[in-house]
Amino acid sequence: MRCFGRQCRGHGKVFVSLVRQTETQLLTTGEAVVALARTAQVQVQTTTQLTADQRTRWDTTLTMAVAIHQQIVTQSRRLTHSQPLTRCKIVNAYDATIAPICKGKSNCPTQFGRKPGIIGEPATGFVFAARLPVGNPSDTSYVLPLVDQVQAACARITTRATPSIYSLAGDLAVNDATLRESLHNRGILTVGIPRSVEPLLPTPSPEAINEMLATADLHRKRTPRQGELACAAGYSRPVVESIIASLLSRGAGQLRYKGWHGACVQLTMAVMAHNAATIRRIRSGRLTSRAQKFRRLLHLRPLNPLKIKQGTN
Amino acid sequence: MRLLHHLQHWLSGTGRPLRVADFVPETHPVRQWADTFPWTVLVAAVDRNFARRFPTPTARGRAPVATRVLLALELLKHELHCSDEQICSQLRTDLAVMYACGIAEVQVNRPQAHFVLPELLTQFRSRLDEPLLQELLALQAAAAMEEGAVSPAHVVVDTFPSEQGSQRVNEAATLYKAKKKSCRLSRRSRRSVRPRGQA
C-alpha cells in the first residue's frame, strides 16, 4: 500500500497491485475498441451515403480518438511502473486541452482544469483582457499576449489621446529577466513584479525611484511621479483576490461549457459581466477609498451622471 | 418596435404596446448594468464576424432573432446566475431583462410561451470564436477608457485555476451522494432514538 498527499485532503492510500491488475484489464478491453475504430475509419472512407464534409469530420474524430487512446496507454504504463510522466499528459479522454494545475495546493492531490490569465486595473478591478491558453503553460507566457490585447484595446480609442501602460505588477511567478527586458523595451516599468519573497516597498525614496528608472533605462520615457505611483499600485494579493472572487461569482470558477472553446466563451462573458458591474460601481461612486485616491492621482475625473449618454438602448 | 420585428414572428401580439423603459426604474441594478455596455459597436462587431464566417445565401425565410438580444442574454446569464432556460423564461416575464435585451416596446400576448428558445443560445455560443471574443472585450475596454472611467496606466497580471465542471450529474456522484445521505440520515435517526441526557 502506498500513500501520497496530505491525509486531511481525502483518501490518500492506493492499492498498487490492484491498480496494476485493473490497468491490464482495461487496456485489454480498449484494444478491441481501437480495432473497431480503425474498421469504422475504413468504412467511413468507402461509404457513399456520407457527404465529403461528414466524411472528413468522422475521419478526424476517429483519428483523434485512436491517438488519444495510444497516449493514455503509454501514460498509464509509465504510471504503474513508477516512471515519471511526460509534460503533456491527458487527464480527460474527452477533452485533451485540460491540464493539471498545481497552483496553490502544496503537497496535495493535483487539481485538473484550466488556468485563465487576467490583466486588470488594481484600483477598481476593471479587467482589460483575459486569456485562456490550452494546457497549463508557465505564468510568464501569459504576460506579453495580455499586454498586446490591452494595447490593441487602447488603439481603438478615437476621441481622446491613446493611453499607454506605465507599469505592470505581478506575483513572483512572472519574475523573469527576458520578460522584464521586453516590457522595458515597450516602455513599461516592472517595479510591481517582485524579485524575492520580500514585500515591495509602497513608498520608496526618490533615490530608489531614480535608480529603478535608470535600471529599466526609462528615465526619459517615465517620470519619477509615474514610478512612485507604480510602486503604490504594486502587486497586492487581496486586491487580485477581490477581482478573482468577482469573476468566480459570475461563473468563471466552474467552466460548464464543453471543451476549450466553451471555456473561452464562458470566461469572456463572465469578464464582460464583471466589467459592466465595475463601471456601474464607478458611475454610482461606490468605490473604496483606495480606488478613489488612485483615480484622483491618475486624473480620472468623476463622471457626471447627467452627461452620460442615455441612448445606449 | 423596430427590434421586435427582428424577433420571432409570434412576438408581436395584439393590444396596446407597453413601453419597457417606463416600467424599469433608472435605479434598477439590471438597467444600470445594461447601460454600461457599448451595444451598438458590440452588435456591429458580432454581425460583421458572422456575416464573414456564416454568409446567408438568401434573404428569404423568417428573420433571425436579433444579435443584441442573444448577446445580452448570454451576458445576463452570468450576471444573474441563470441557466439558458431560466434566462429565456425571465425574458418572457421580467421587464428589466427585456430592457437589458434592448426591447423597447412589448405587446401582451398571454398564450405565447417564449420570446427566445434556449436552443438558440447554444447555437449562438457555438458561433463565437476566440478572435471575436477578444474583440468584444477590447471594445468594452476601449469604451470604458474613452468614457474616462478606467485607465490602463498601472495594471496587474495574475492567473487563477478554474475547474472544468459538468452540468450533468454522473452516476459516481449520485452514488457518492446517496451513500453520504444515507449515513447522515442513519446517524440522525440513531441520535433521535437515544434518550436525552445520554452521551
In B, which residues are within 8 Å of A140 by CB distance? none
Q: Which of B141, B146, B149 sits opposite A160 (nearest CB)?
A: B146
pLDDT at residue B130 is higher than 70: yes
pLDDT for residue A105: 57
Can you tell me the distance from the alpha carbon of A298 to that of B57, in angstroms, rounded to the nearest whole number?
Answer: 51
A187: helix, strand or coil: coil
**Residue B157, SS3?**
strand
Write down the pLDDT at residue B67.
93
**Cα dihedral across residues A133, A135, A136, A140: positive or negative:** negative
Nearest by CB to residue B155, choosing from A103, A121, A248, is A121
pTM: 0.80
Tell which of B156, B163, B169, B180 to mutate to test the A interface (max A CBs under 10 Å).
Answer: B156
**Residue A128: which of B66, B145, B147, B68 has the closest Cα?**
B145
The minimum CA-CA distance between B134 and chain A, rounded to whole Å, is 8
- Residue showing cell 515591495: A200
Inform me whether the pLDDT recorded for B8 exceeds 60: no
- Ordered by start, the domain boundaries in chain B are 2-147
Closest by CA to B132, choosing from B66, B56, B64, B41, is: B41
* Residue A268 to residue B137, Cβ atoms within 8 A: yes
CB A100 within 8 A of CB A115: no
User: In sequence order, what are the beta bridge partners of A13?
Assistant: A3
- Of residues B125 and A99, more confidence is placed in B125
Answer whether B33 sits within 8 Å of A276, measured CB to CB.
yes
The pLDDT tens digits of the residues spanning B53-112 come to 988 878 788 778 899 999 999 999 999 999 999 999 999 889 999 999 999 888 767 666
Q: Domain boundaries in chain A? A: 2-90, 117-297
Alpha-carbon span B117 to A157, nearest angstrom:
36
Q: Which chain B positions have a beta carbon within 8 Å of A272's beta carbon?
A: 37, 75, 78, 136-137, 140
Which chain B residue is nearest to residue A103, measuring alpha carbons? B161
pLDDT confidence band for B25 (50 / 70 / 90): very high
Nearest by CB to B154, from A146, A229, A248: name it: A229
* CB within 8 Å: B167 and A256: yes
Q: Which residue has the higher pLDDT, B3 or A65?
A: A65
Q: Which sign does the torsion angle of CA A249, A252, A255, A258 carry?
A: positive
β-strand pairing of B162-164 with A111-114: antiparallel
The yes/no answer to whether this complex scores an ipTM above 0.90 is no
Residues of A in Cβ contact (< 8 Å) with B149? 124, 126, 279, 282-283, 300, 303
Inter-chain CB proximity A272 and B99 less than 8 Å: no
- What pLDDT shows up at residue A263? 92
Instruction: Provide the pLDDT for residue B77.
Output: 94
Per-residue confidence of chain A (313 residues) as pLDDT tens digits?
A: 445 445 555 555 667 788 888 888 888 888 888 888 889 989 988 888 888 888 888 888 888 888 888 888 888 888 788 787 766 677 777 777 888 776 655 556 567 788 899 999 988 899 999 999 988 888 999 999 999 999 999 999 988 888 999 999 998 889 999 999 999 999 999 888 888 888 777 788 888 888 888 888 887 788 888 888 888 877 788 889 999 999 999 988 888 888 889 999 999 999 999 999 999 999 988 888 888 888 888 878 655 555 555 544 4
Taking only Cα atoms into account, the Rg of chain A, rounded to an integer number of angstroms, comes to 25
First to last CA, chain A: 65
Of A123, A130, A278, the CB nearest to B137: A130
